[in-house]
Amino acid sequence: MVDVLAPLVGYDSPAEKLERQDRRSQIAALLGIIGILLACLQFILDTLQLLQFPGVRLARFLPYLAGALLAAAVLLALYLLLRSRSPARKRRAAGLLVLALVAMLAWGGWTAYSRITLASDFVIAVADFDGSRSSMQIDFARRIVENLESQLSDLEEDARIIRTHEVYRDAEAARRRGSALRATLIIWGWYDDAGVSPRVELLQLPSLQQDVSAVRVLLSPLTASQPSASLPDVDLSRYARRPSVMPAMDLFLQRGSEELTAVTEAVLALGFFANQRYEEALVLFDKALAELEPGSGAPVGRESILFQRAMTLYALGRVAEAITDLEEITETEEDLFEAHYNLAIAYAQSCTPIMQLTRAIGQAETATRLRPDDADAWLLLGELYLQEGRASDAVAALELALTFDAGNSLTYSLLTQAYAALQQPQKAAHAQAMAIAAVQEEMAAGKLDEVEGHLRLGDIYMAGDDEDAFGRALAEYQAALDLVPELPAALRGLGNAWSWLGETEKAEAAYRTLAEQTPDDPSSHLLLGILYLRGSDVGAARDELEKAAALGKCDPTPYLLLGGLAVKEGDYETALAQYRQAVTFDSENADAWYLLASSAYQAGHYDEAAWAIDSVLALGAGGVGVHRLAAAIARERGEFDKAAKHYETLLQLAPGETDVYALLGDAYLQLSRWDDAIAAYESYLTAGEDAAAHVSLGIALAQKGEIDAAVEHYRRALSLDPEYAAAYRVLGVALSVQGDLEGAREAYQQALALHPDDAQAYAGLASVDERLGLSEEALAAYRQAVRLNPDDWQSQFRLGELYARAGDLAEAEKAYTAALTSNPGSAEAYFGLGLSAYKQCRLSTAVQALNQAVKLQPDLSTYRGLLAALYEAQGRGADAEAIYAELQQKPESDAYAHLVVADYLARRQRYQEAGREYQRVVEAGSLLPFIAAWAHFGLGSVLYAEEKFLAAQAEFEQAVESYPATPDAQAALGDIRMRLGDAAGAIAAYDRAVEMLPAYARLNPVDLTALQTAYIHVRRALAFEHLRQRDKAQEALDAADAAVQAVLAKVPRSPLGHLALGIVREAQGNADEAEAAYDIAVQCDLVLADVRDLVRANLAALGS
In contact, 864 and 883? CB cutoff 8 Å: yes
Among 1-15, 117-131, 770-784, which is the least confidently predicted range? 1-15
**What's the CA gap between 308 and 200, in Å, rounded?**
12
The DSSP string of 803-855 is: HHHHT-HHHHHHHHHHHHHH-TT-HHHHHHHHHHHHHTT-HHHHHHHHHHHHH
**What's the CA gap between 175 and 172, in Å, rounded?**
5
- What CATH number is associated with residue 506? 1.25.40.10
**What's the CA gap between 1044 and 809, in Å, rounded?**
17
The per-residue pLDDT for 224 is 43
Among 294-298, 317-321, 562-566, which is the least confidently predicted range? 294-298
What does the pLDDT look like over 690-720, one tens digit per residue? 999 999 999 999 999 999 999 999 999 999 9
Same domain (yes/no): 1091, 1010: yes
Average pLDDT estimate for 394-399: 92
Same domain (yes/no): 1044, 948: no
Same domain (yes/no): 198, 64: no
What does the pLDDT look like over 215-267, one tens digit per residue? 554 444 444 444 444 444 444 555 556 787 777 777 666 655 556 677 777 77
Phi-psi region of 430 (alpha: psi -120 to 50; beta: other; left: phi over 0): alpha
**What's the CA gap between 409 and 443, in Å, rounded?**
10
Answer with the one of 942, 963, 984 that is the final residue of a domain.
963
- Phi first, then psi: give them for residue 969, nearest 5 degrees: -70, -40
**Whether pTM exceeds 0.85:** no
Average pLDDT estimate for 554-574: 90
The DSSP string of 506-542 is: HHHHHHHHHHHH-TT-HHHHHHHHHHHHHTT-HHHHH
Same domain (yes/no): 928, 998: no
> Residue 147 falls within a domain, yes or no?
yes
Whether residue 47 has pLDDT greater than 60 = no
Average pLDDT estimate for 169-181: 87
> Residue 1038 falls within a domain, yes or no?
yes
The per-residue pLDDT for 289 is 83
**Long-range contacts, 893-897 (Cβ 8 Å, 24+):** 893/924, 894/861, 895/921, 895/924, 895/927, 895/931, 895/935, 896/861, 896/862, 896/865, 896/931, 897/861, 897/864, 897/865
In contact, 284 and 272? CB cutoff 8 Å: yes
Report the range out of 218-232, 353-367, 1014-1028 with the highest average pLDDT.
1014-1028
Same domain (yes/no): 51, 142: no
**What's the CA gap between 351 and 552, in Å, rounded?**
10
**What's the CA gap between 766 and 1047, in Å, rounded?**
24
> Residue 190 falls within a domain, yes or no?
yes
Answer with the one of 98, 116, 134 that is the final residue of a domain.
116
User: SS3 sequence, 201-256?
Assistant: EECCCCCCCEEEEEEEEECCCCCCCCCCCCCCEEEEEEEEECCCCCCEEECEECCH
Same domain (yes/no): 40, 106: yes
Q: Which domain holds residue 953?
A: 890-963
The DSSP string of 419-450 is: HHHTT-HHHHHHHHHHHHHHHHHHHHTT-S-H
Answer with the one of 489, 504, 526 that is the final residue of a domain.
526
Among 259-263, 763-767, 922-926, which is the least confidently predicted range? 259-263
What does the pLDDT look like over 931-983, one tens digit per residue? 999 999 999 999 999 999 999 999 999 999 999 889 999 999 999 999 999 99
Same domain (yes/no): 182, 294: yes
What does the pLDDT look like over 105-151, one tens digit per residue? 666 665 555 544 444 567 889 999 888 888 888 887 888 888 877 77
Confidence of residue 996 (pLDDT cuts 50, 70, 90): very high
The per-residue pLDDT for 117 is 46
Among 419-428, 1053-1062, 1068-1077, which is the least confidently predicted range? 419-428
Average pLDDT estimate for 286-292: 80
In contact, 970 and 1019? CB cutoff 8 Å: no
What does the pLDDT look like over 605-651, one tens digit per residue? 999 999 999 999 998 888 899 999 999 999 999 999 999 999 999 99
Among 39-43, 403-407, 859-863, 1042-1046, which is the least confidently predicted range? 39-43
Phi-psi region of 919 (alpha: psi -120 to 50; beta: other; left: phi over 0): alpha
Confidence of residue 22 (pLDDT cuts 50, 70, 90): low
Say which residues have a Cβ less than 8 Å from residue 684's Cβ, sequence separation at least 6: 658, 659, 661, 662, 665, 690, 693
In residues, how long is the chain?
1104
Reduced to 3 states, what is the DSSP secondary structure of residue 765?
Answer: helix
In contact, 659 and 684? CB cutoff 8 Å: yes
What does the pLDDT look like over 434-465, one tens digit per residue? 889 988 888 888 888 888 888 888 888 887 66
> Residue 1081 falls within a domain, yes or no?
yes
Average pLDDT estimate for 488-499: 88
Strand 130-133 relative to strand 185-192, pairing: parallel
Same domain (yes/no): 1009, 942: no
The per-residue pLDDT for 295 is 53
Say which residues have a Cβ less than 8 Å from residue 956's Cβ, sequence separation at least 6: 936, 937, 940, 969, 970, 972, 973, 976
Reference 289, options 275, 273, 306; nearest CA is 306
Average pLDDT estimate for 24-49: 56
The per-residue pLDDT for 21 is 40
Cα 330 to chain centroid distance, Å, stands at 30
The per-residue pLDDT for 794 is 92
Whether residue 95 has pLDDT greater than 80 = no
Whether residue 94 has pLDDT greater than 70 = yes
The per-residue pLDDT for 230 is 44
Confidence of residue 390 (pLDDT cuts 50, 70, 90): confident
Same domain (yes/no): 65, 153: no
Same domain (yes/no): 85, 144: no
Confidence of residue 34 (pLDDT cuts 50, 70, 90): low
**What's the CA gap between 64 and 227, in Å, rounded?**
81
The per-residue pLDDT for 56 is 43
> Residue 242 falls within a domain, yes or no?
no
- Termini Cα distance of the chain: 181
In contact, 1081 and 1047? CB cutoff 8 Å: no
Reference 886, options 872, 901, 873, 875; nearest CA is 901
- What CATH number is associated with residue 1092? 1.25.40
Reference 281, options 418, 151, 431, 434; nearest CA is 151
Largest Cα span, the chain = 198
Q: What is the mean pLDDT of the chain?
A: 83
Give the count of alpha carbons within 13 A of 501, CB side only: 22
When divided into structural domains, the chain yields a total of 5
> Residue 704 falls within a domain, yes or no?
no
**What's the CA gap between 874 and 884, in Å, rounded?**
16
Which residues partner with 239 through β-bridges? 212
Among 56-65, 77-86, 617-626, which is the least confidently predicted range? 56-65
The per-residue pLDDT for 3 is 47
Reference 76, options 46, 113, 32, 115; nearest CA is 32
Average pLDDT estimate for 827-839: 91
> Residue 1082 falls within a domain, yes or no?
yes
Same domain (yes/no): 1038, 972: yes
Same domain (yes/no): 294, 183: yes
> Residue 988 falls within a domain, yes or no?
yes
Whether residue 898 has pLDDT greater than 50 = yes
